[in-house]
């Protein structure tokens, strides 16, 4: 496995990375939701649906060329 030459720039600017971080946060909130019962009135499956949608968007973003992110060019 070889990292792209400008991996730090990719981490800072790639939408796929941002969306995966959001999906991870939503998954964490979904896990914590039972502990917040009575404090937060949010349907339990909402976080799962939002997480799935952001993962799908990250998949698409990974395949789409982005102006601010390049492979060492």
The structural domains of the chain, with segments of one domain joined by +, span: 22-63
How large is the average pLDDT for residues 7-29? 88
How large is the average pLDDT for residues 33-56? 83
Cβ atoms of 13 and 59 closer than 8 Å? no
Q: How far apart (Å, rounded) are the C-alpha atoms in residues 38 and 33?
A: 10
Give the count of alpha carbons within 13 A of 32, CB side only: 9
Positive or negative torsion for Cα 38, 42, 46, 51: negative
- Kindly report the number of other CB atoms within 10 A of residue 28's CB atom: 12
Q: What is the reported pLDDT for 56?
A: 94
């Amino acid at each position: 496995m070889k990292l792209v030459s400008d991996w730090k720039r990719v981490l800072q600017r790639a939408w796929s990375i941002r969306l995966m971080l959001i999906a991870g946060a939503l998954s964490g909130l979904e896990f914590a939701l039972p502990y917040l019962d009575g404090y937060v009135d949010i349907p339990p499956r909402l976080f799962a649906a939002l997480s799935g949608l952001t993962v799908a968007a990250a998949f698409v973003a990974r395949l789409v060329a982005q102006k601010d992110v390049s492979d060492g060019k």
